[in-house]
Amino acid sequence: MKTRLAVLTLVALVLGVLLSWKNSEVTPGFYRFGFFLGLAALVAWLLSPGGQMFIRIGRNPWKRIAFIPIGFIIAAAPFIVLMEAGFAGYRGFAAFMRYVSLALVTIGLLGLLSSFVIPYFLRRHSTR
């Protein structure tokens, strides 16, 4: 699980750099490559064998504080990669594939929002 997450986070970083790079030498081919890289990383992440599902952090308060950003990354990494791949596809393709890319961005955005909203509602309603 840690290796899968590290690779997915690296792909998210590469796509983020590609999308924020403002240079005249960045052609639509780079964006198409980023689109397919993001999709390939997601497929590899989904099809790779799972590892340990739970991470033990113990009772140390410093470890608990450090785990908060890691927990956000675990919950959000696939959706961030999906959104970035969609944005790269939108910049790299024309016509029909732009709609496919926008659909991927929408799915990624909905997944990202639900990864934060659903646990909030589950925690809120489980105390009743």
SS (H, E, C) 66-111: HHHHHHHHHHHHHHHHHHHHHHHHHHHCCCHHHHHHHHHHHHHHHH
Please give the pLDDT value at position 53. 53
pLDDT value for 54: 60
This prediction's pTM:
0.81
Mean pLDDT by 10 residues, the chain (128 residues): 80 92 88 96 86 66 77 81 96 94 96 85 73
| Phi then psi dihedrals of residue 72, to 5 deg | -65, -40
Distance CA 12, CA 6 (A): 10
